[in-house]
Amino acid sequence: MTSLFLIGNIASGKSTAARYFACRGARCIDLDRFAKDLYVPGSDIVNELVQEFGVEILDAFGGVDAHQLASRAFESPSATKRLNDIVHPVLKARLAQVLMPVPCASMAMGSRLTVVEASVPEAVRDLFPLVDEVLAICAPYEIRCQRAIARGMDPDDFARRASRQPSDAAIAAMATWVIDNSYCDVHEFEDALDDWLLQRGLSGSLGCSEVAHD
What b/e readout covers 96-135, taking b as 16+ CB neighbours within 10 angstroms? eebbeeeeeeeeeebbbbbbbbbbebebbeebbebbeebb
pLDDT score of 110 = 65
Question: CA–CA separation, 137 vs 52, rounded Å?
Answer: 35
Residue 113 near residue 26, CB atoms below 8 Å:
yes
Neighbours of 78 (CB within 10 A): 7
pLDDT score of 105 = 37
Neighbours of 81 (CB within 10 A): 11
pLDDT score of 84 = 87
> What's the predicted TM-score (pTM) here?
0.80
Which amino acid does the sequence have at 161?
R
Which burial class, exposed, middle or buried, applies to 188 when counting CB atoms under 10 A from its CB (0-12, 13-18, 19+)?
exposed
Neighbours of 37 (CB within 10 A): 12
What b/e readout covers 146-168, taking b as 16+ CB neighbours within 10 angstroms? bbbeeeebeeeebeeebeebeeb
Beta partners for residue 116, in sequence order:
5, 29
Mean pLDDT per 10-residue segment, the chain (214 residues): 94 95 93 89 94 95 91 87 90 85 49 90 88 96 95 92 90 96 91 94 69 42
Backbone angles phi, psi at 57, to 5 degrees: -80, -5
pLDDT score of 207 = 64
Element (H, E) at 209: none
Residue 168 near residue 9, CB atoms below 8 Å:
yes
pLDDT score of 127 = 87
Q: Between helices 14-23 and 186-199, what is the axis angle to 10°?
A: 60
Give every CB contact of residue 29 below 8 A, 6+ residues apart in sequence: 95, 98, 114, 115, 116, 117, 211, 212, 213
Question: CA–CA separation, 105 vs 58, rounded Å?
Answer: 44
Question: CA–CA separation, 150 vs 53, rounded Å?
Answer: 38
